[in-house]
Amino acid sequence: MEKGTVELQVWHQKFLRYLACEGSPPAPGRISSRDPLHDKSSSHSPSSGASQSWFAIGIALIFSSFLKSPDKLNSETQIPLPAVNMPREAEISTNEKQFLKTALTENVRIDGRLFEQYRPLSLGFGEEFGVAEVELGKTRILAKVSAEVTVPYADRPFDGIFQIVTELSPMVSPAFEVNRPTETEVLLSRLLEKTVRRSGALDTESLCLMAGKKCWAVRVDVHVLSHDGNLVDAACVAVVAALRHFRKPDTSVEGEMVTVYTAAEREPTPLSWLHSPYCVTWSFYGEEGEMALLDASWKEEQVQVASFTVSLNRHGEVCQIAKLGGVAVDAVLLLKCTAGATVEVKRISEMVDQKLEEDAKRRDKGGLMAELRAENERES
């Protein structure tokens, strides 16, 4: 038993002997000579005096609760700690909020954009297949795709596995912590799941290698590098671009044996992609949400009264609609926002297609496809 525990037990026993001798705490000036707390022979006895006696009694009362089971002092007894306020994301001042609201009533945005105008959108790919980085204004998103052979789910033996994982690190904002999902991270993950996975953009049946035994598990890790508003739209572009850019290793199945080939042995194959959905987010302002802004910045998001995210493909097919709380918005305004989102999705889709084509040409210099194109040009 540790020395500290022994000392606590000594004080506790002294206090119990005191109560047994006196029956109740004595009044000041009537300290009995039998008082064990004032026994001069005790090595743990404090100085004489009524105030010091009551101090010792108080100490014994405090620590008596810790001695109910000394052997379990460290495992079951916990000292309550004061509540610690977790760091919150920096909020804009009241004057800034009022300025933003006043500017919007005069049809002016603080960055000079129109109400229905996106910030500059750029897309780049890494040296490896399946790595895409998107910049939407000052918002930066990195998406990385990986794949491995695993066992399919029991209730879906003919489908592969596809999942999207989001990560908002403390480097982005003090409000985000490692292994502690915030509301922003959860909502981002859900919207991406509904837009990409549940809409059937990726053919999961093509990921099956052996029914009920082997399949591909495709995972997309979304890393937020910089947060300046509208994470959903930027993350969706990054996820779709990374999946279309990704190449999985080629495989062959012989009986019960699955062989996975390296890139040097066989050319990796792209995923079976059916359509490309993209998210477009609108923010609403005013007492009744009568003003709609496209691609709100982080400061503009602090004063919005509602938000509306619609996911579409280039053909105008709606994949999902999400309005996450806030004031009620007129249905006619929502239809107008959806019509405007259709135009933006076509523009984003063309940009992604162009970037993918440019990257394919850069990687294929002097390769087989370059020879085929040169042969076609000579024949024409």
In angstroms, rounded to a whole number, what is the distance separating the alpha carbons of residues 230 and 283? 10
In angstroms, rounded to a whole number, what is the distance separating the alpha carbons of residues 94 and 40? 66
The SS3 of residue 202 is strand
Q: What is the pLDDT of residues 161-215, one digit of tens each?
A: 999 999 887 777 766 777 777 788 888 999 999 999 899 999 999 999 999 999 9
CA dist 330 → 291, 312, 343 (Å): 11, 21, 21
**Are 122 and 267 within one domain?**
yes
Residue 291: Cβ-neighbour burial (10 angstroms; 0-12, 13-18, 19+): middle
**Are 44 and 190 within one domain?**
no
**Are 252 and 348 within one domain?**
yes
**Are 279 and 340 within one domain?**
yes
- 259 forms beta bridges with 252
Q: Is the pTM of this model over 0.85?
A: no
322 assigned to some structural domain: yes
Low pLDDT (below 70) residues in the chain:
1-90, 174-175, 366-380
Q: Count of CB atoms within 10 A of residue 327's CB?
A: 13
In angstroms, rounded to a whole number, what is the distance separating the alpha carbons of residues 39 and 44? 9
238 assigned to some structural domain: yes
**Are 118 and 28 within one domain?**
no
- 139 forms beta bridges with 136
**Are 310 and 352 within one domain?**
yes
**Are 21 and 102 within one domain?**
no
**Are 304 and 161 within one domain?**
yes
In angstroms, rounded to a whole number, what is the distance separating the alpha carbons of residues 14 and 63? 12
**Are 237 and 308 within one domain?**
yes
Q: Considering Cα of 369, then 371, then 376, then 380, what sign does the dihedral take?
A: positive
Instruction: Name the packing angle between helices 231-245 and 183-192 (round to 10°).
Output: 40
CATH number of the domain within which 199 lies? 3.30.230.70
**Are 350 and 201 within one domain?**
yes
377 assigned to some structural domain: no
Of 268, 207, 276, 274, the C-alpha closest to 242 is: 276
At 219, phi and psi to the nearest 5?
-130, 135
Instruction: Please give the sequence-ordered ranges of beta strands (E in DSSP) within the chain, or none if there are none.
Output: 121-125, 131-136, 139-150, 161-168, 208-210, 214-226, 247-248, 251-254, 257-260, 269-270, 278-285, 291-294, 306-312, 318-322
The number of folded domains in the chain is 2
In angstroms, rounded to a whole number, what is the distance separating the alpha carbons of residues 230 and 234? 7
Q: What is the pLDDT of residues 351-375, one digit of tens each?
A: 999 999 999 998 887 555 555 565 6
DSSP codes, 280-340: EEEEEESTT--EEEES--HHHHTT-SEEEEEEE-TT--EEEEE--SSS---HHHHHHHHHH
**Are 272 and 339 within one domain?**
yes
**Are 52 and 182 within one domain?**
no
Q: What pLDDT does residue 133 have?
A: 97
Give the structural domain span for 51: 3-72
From 37, 72, 107, give the residue that closes a domain. 72
